[in-house]
């Protein structure tokens, strides 16, 4: 039946998302499937540390103890099936905890586990083979001691678990969008080489994988998004041809518009003509969005080609210790007082380190929050009368950072007038966990589905079928290839936010900034004014590597990929914004020249 649709609700964007998503979708979303994404890049190392302390842990416990414990009966009664990557590094432990709750409640439910993403057993051989980091700048050989190493699996194991009759599928590390694509492959019988369908299904998964980011969360025009406390979690209603509608449960807050959905499409995609996933290489450049009704957007136009023959593996390792300290400084010249306080703390502790025979800090970073530190030379609040000194440091020795933490409180009586508020008390040093990403031949892993005590191998396409793609992606657009500014009389200077919506995110040390023209006629202006040279200059205090620009003409957008932009990114970064969430906001403040007649 080609008219049949499948409704999938996205209940979680990360481990720590609100507990309101799943109940809202189950009770009011009229959904067929409920999917959860819990695993941010470094969640795996947090889970690895938890499992070291208690072997039965290593999964997203909230999924079991908060969400499923209260909703399992309703989910089963409504015949909703669930797919979640809450398994983390211990998917079997997660499934066992869930089965115990089901037994306790007298509920019969078939739970499947996807295994095969754990790369730790292969490390000795990989080290011998001289595996190389994907990050050319922070490369080097595989670290000696890893906390975790997991491959990003795709949708095929999930499809197989559903084909075998699983009502709940729990995976370890898989790409975020696979929890949705696996459902659609199962429901519509899409083959592993139906690349066009797989690209559209992956896009549906990408749109709902971050929860409310698709329904007005983080929207540039935040004031136009109603009822934040009751914001609706996203639902995709998918058809067999791959096209789909994005919506949310009736009566909920939030906003589903071409702008909010477009912003999420641009989130962390890198090259939009070659968005690499284990199942398909996606091309989103020709995607189109149409407002199909109030709170409903139709999405079409994703194209696909064969995936590569490798999985991305994300490994994590401990690299010394880190500590962050904060103090609030009030009064005249608060910013200058905060900066002098930070320098005094560093000078004093360095002297004490030398007396103890310890080395200097590995790295230090000073932010003055309230002084627009992240705007660098474009800051406008240098003379604020309330500022927060934020001092982040790294050191190989935990004891050195314990000394650092003790010395912070002396500032309350020793130095600047108006020193107060140290956040939540004395800071504590914690292990500095870094990411090491590399590529692994798909043949090296053999994913399996574990259900009813039986392990079934997953039939994977032969490696020869995986090529770099059966059509070369278009080259990235360049700054020099900009369209001329349309004539329109005299030019006025306005901030970029008047022309564009923006959304930013991260991939390691790379900041991804997507911009959508507010009106189609603004797109030539956007291309002319937001050149790679201007972006590199405007963000030069943050971005140390090259800037590449890509076009998405289907949604009147451009995507900017800024390398060496996040001080190492993730937990390696000492910045207040290690994930680059504020980068689009900083860029949207950049002045651009616009014909006066074009502005409303």
Domain positions in the chain are: 5-117+152-307, 320-434, 479-598
Distance CA 83, CA 175 (A): 13
Q: How many CB atoms lie within 10 A of CB 591?
A: 14
Q: Which two tokens stand for residue 264?
A: 């999420």
* Run of H or E including 321: strand 310-330
pTM reported for the whole predicted model: 0.95
Distance CA 490, CA 488 (A): 7
Distance CA 258, CA 297 (A): 6
Give yes or no for a contact between 387 and 420, defined as CB atoms under 8 angstroms apart: no
Closest by CA to 199, choosing from 167, 160, 233, 238, is 238
> Which pLDDT does position 53 carry in this prediction?
87
* Run of H or E including 113: strand 111-115
Distance CA 272, CA 276 (A): 9
Number of helices (H), then strands (E), belonging to the chain: the values are: 16, 26
Distance CA 368, CA 303 (A): 45
> Which pLDDT does position 466 carry in this prediction?
57
Residue appearing with tokens 């030398």: 354
Q: Which two tokens stand for residue 361?
A: 């800090």
Give yes or no for a contact between 568 and 431, defined as CB atoms under 8 angstroms apart: no
- Topology adopted by domain 479-598: Gyrase A; domain 2 (3.30.1360)
Is residue 597 packed enough to be buried (19+ CB in 10 Å), middle (13-18) or exposed (0-12)?
exposed
The answer to whether domain 320-434 has CATH 1.10.3470 is no
> Which pLDDT does position 482 carry in this prediction?
47
> Which pLDDT does position 50 carry in this prediction?
86
> Which pLDDT does position 434 carry in this prediction?
87
Strands 168-170 and 81-84: parallel
- Which residues, given as ranges, of the chain have pLDDT below 70? 1, 136-139, 463-489
> Which pLDDT does position 373 carry in this prediction?
93
Residues whose CB is less than 8 angstroms from the CB of residue 207 and which lie 6 or more positions away in sequence, other chains included: 214, 234, 236, 246, 261, 264, 265, 299
Give yes or no for a contact between 97 and 401, defined as CB atoms under 8 angstroms apart: no
């Amino acid at each position: 039946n080609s008219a049949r649709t499948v409704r999938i609700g996205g209940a979680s964007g990360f481990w720590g998302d609100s507990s309101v998503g799943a109940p809202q979708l189950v009770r009011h979303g009229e959904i067929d499937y409920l999917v959860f994404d819990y695993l941010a890049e470094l969640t795996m190392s947090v889970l690895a540390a938890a499992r070291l302390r208690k072997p039965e842990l290593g999964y997203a416990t909230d999924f079991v103890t908060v969400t499923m414990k209260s909703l399992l009966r309703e989910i089963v009664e409504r015949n909703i099936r669930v797919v979640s990557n809450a398994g983390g590094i211990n998917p079997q432990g997660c499934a066992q905890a869930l089965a115990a709750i089901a037994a306790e409640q007298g509920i019969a439910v078939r739970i499947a586990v996807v295994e095969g993403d754990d790369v730790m057993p292969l490390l000795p051989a990989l080290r011998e083979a001289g595996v190389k980091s994907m990050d050319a700048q922070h490369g080097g050989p595989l670290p000696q001691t890893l906390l975790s190493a997991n491959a990003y699996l795709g949708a095929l194991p999930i499809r197989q678990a559903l084909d075998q009759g699983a009502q709940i599928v729990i995976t370890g590390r898989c790409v975020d969008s696979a929890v949705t694509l696996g459902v659609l492959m199962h429901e519509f019988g899409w083959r592993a080489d139906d690349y066009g369908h797989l690209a559209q299904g992956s896009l549906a998964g990408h749109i709902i994988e971050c929860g409310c980011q698709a329904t007005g969360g983080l929207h540039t025009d935040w004031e136009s998004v109603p009822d934040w406390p009751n914001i609706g979690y996203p639902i995709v209603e998918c058809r067999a041809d791959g096209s789909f509608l994005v919506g949310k449960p009736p009566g909920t807050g939030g906003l589903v518009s071409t702008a909010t959905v477009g912003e999420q499409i641009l989130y962390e995609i890198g090259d939009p003509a070659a968005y690499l996933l284990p199942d398909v290489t996606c091309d989103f450049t020709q995607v189109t969005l149409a407002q199909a009704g109030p709170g409903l957007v139709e999405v079409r136009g994703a194209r696909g080609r064969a995936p590569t023959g490798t999985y991305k593996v994300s490994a994590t390792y401990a690299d010394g210790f880190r500590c962050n300290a904060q103090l609030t400084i009030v009064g005249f010249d608060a910013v200058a007082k905060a900066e002098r306080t930070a320098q005094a703390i560093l000078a004093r502790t360095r002297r004490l380190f030398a007396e103890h025979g310890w080395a200097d800090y590995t790295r230090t970073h000073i932010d003055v929050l309230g002084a627009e530190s992240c705007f660098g030379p474009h800051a406008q609040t240098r003379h604020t009368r309330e500022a927060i000194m934020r001092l982040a440091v790294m050191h190989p020795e935990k004891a050195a950072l314990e000394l650092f933490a003790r010395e912070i409180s002396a500032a309350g009586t020793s130095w600047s007038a108006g020193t107060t508020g140290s956040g939540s008390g004395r800071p504590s040093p914690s292990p500095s966990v870094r990411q090491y990403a590399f590529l692994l031949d798909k043949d090296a892993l053999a994913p399996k589905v574990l259900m009813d005590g039986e392990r079934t191998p997953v039939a994977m396409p032969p490696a020869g079928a995986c090529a770099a793609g059966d059509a070369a992606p278009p080259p990235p657009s360049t700054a020099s290839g900009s369209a001329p500014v349309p004539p329109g009389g005299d030019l006025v200077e306005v901030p970029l936010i008047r022309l564009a919506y923006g959304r930013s995110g991260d991939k390691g040390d790379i900041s991804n900034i997507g911009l959508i023209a507010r009106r189609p006629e603004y797109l030539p202006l956007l291309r002319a004014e937001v050149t790679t040279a201007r972006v590199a200059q405007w963000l030069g205090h943050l971005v140390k590597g090259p800037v590449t620009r890509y076009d998405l003409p289907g949604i009147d957008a451009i995507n900017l990929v800024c390398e060496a932009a996040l001080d190492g990114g993730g937990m390696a970064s000492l910045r207040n914004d290690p994930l680059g969430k504020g980068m689009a906001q900083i860029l949207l403040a950049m002045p651009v020249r616009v014909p006066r007649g074009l502005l409303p």
